[in-house]
Amino acid sequence: MSGFRAAFQAERMKLRRTLALAMAVVAPAMVVLLQVLIWLNNRRGFDVDIDLWLAFGNNVLAMWALFMQPLYVALAAALVFHAEHASGGWLRLFTWPLPRTSVLAAKHAVVLALLALSTLLLFAFSLLGAFVADLLDASITLPEDVPLLELASRSLRVFAAALLLTAIQCAVSFRFATISVPLGTGVVGTFVALFATSWKAGVYYPWLMPARALFGPDPQIPIAVGLGAVGGLALTVVHVAWAARSEAGLTRG
């Protein structure tokens, strides 16, 4: 465990002033800003029977789950792992007096930490964005009671369901030295999800799991969350164990 802490601390220090860390703030902020602009340009009014807090949060989470989150995960994983590919760092890292598994697990953990940070910021920005929209548009009247637990629960479901696609992106980023492969994987996976949102088997597609965890049919929500979370953790363990015994990350390809 001490080896993992040391490796994770080293990875955390590498994140300072990097694009991966900056985008953990920018990506959720962009989604919320887009939703604020959509509301401010709404000319049809708002249904008085809906909870506008939940409506705003659901719209933000839908855009995040389907589009921005998988793209951000692809970028974050690619940048975190590419730092070692670009400088021959794997050879240096694996000479540390630490188990290889600790080094690789720390890479996975820092990508998950970035995803958790971006999800937390999305939650905070959503509340702020709805409040700003309420201030700027007299036709928007937010309820006095903020459904914090409901909004937090939905955000957590989306995060948990994204663990499998996160593990996939980390595995691809470790295997291929060129950054274009993991980025391309993320883009292709995202666009397939965008064009297959109604796919009956979409609950088993990693890039659709977060969306199904948010607004899928009730029977599919626990499946998406369970497969995403358990599958992601299982794949992470398998990948760390396999990669620690291979030379896949030490070569360019």
Q: Average the pLDDT over 31-36 and give the result.
A: 96
**How many residues are there in the chain?**
253
Q: Domain boundaries in the chain?
A: 2-250
182: phi > 0 → left, psi -120 to 50 → alpha, else beta; which?
Answer: alpha
Q: What is the pLDDT of residues 176-212, one digit of tens each?
A: 888 899 999 999 999 999 888 888 888 999 999 999 9
**Closest to 142 (Cα-Cα) out of 129, 125, 155:** 129
What pLDDT does residue 164 have?
A: 97
The pTM of the full predicted model, rounded to 2 decimals, is 0.91
- Give the whole-angstrom CA distance, residue 53 versus residue 41: 17
Cα distance between residue 119 and residue 214, in whole Å:
14
Q: What is the dihedral of CA 191, 196, 198, 201, to 10 degrees?
A: -120
CB 165 within 8 A of CB 206: yes
Say whether pLDDT at 141 is over 70: yes
CB neighbourhood size of 178 (10 A): 14
Contact 210, 162 (CB under 8 A): yes
User: For residue range 79-133, what is the model confidence (pLDDT) as tens digits?
Assistant: 998 877 766 666 666 666 667 788 889 999 999 999 999 999 999 999 999 999 9
Residue 62 and residue 53: Cα distance in Å, rounded?
A: 14
- DSSP secondary structure code for residue 18 in this structure: -
